[in-house]
Amino acid sequence: LGKLYNSIGLAHRNRTNYAEAISYYEKALEHFAQAKINDRVRIEIANTKNNLAYIYHKLGRDDEALSHGEGALKV
């Protein structure tokens, strides 16, 4: 389900509907947090955090972008 939310977030991002994209990416992270952590889930978490970093950067919210980007690297 987290991967599906991530995909829907990407579709909204591609349409520059950033508020909706952020919402779906956050839902994805909620679902990944409930999953049994393994390498595949870690990759999905990092990917989602990277997607959030991209959007926040586009919105000029660079502190949030850096936070999510650094979070992706830590995963």
Mean pLDDT value across the chain: 96
| pLDDT confidence tier of residue 45, bands split at 50, 70 and 90 | very high
* Global pTM value: 0.92
Query: 4-34: per-residue pLDDT in tens?
Result: 999 999 999 999 999 999 999 999 999 999 9
* Tokens representing residue 51 in the block: 């997607």
CA distances from 66 to 7, 24, 31, 56, 58 (A): 22, 19, 22, 9, 12
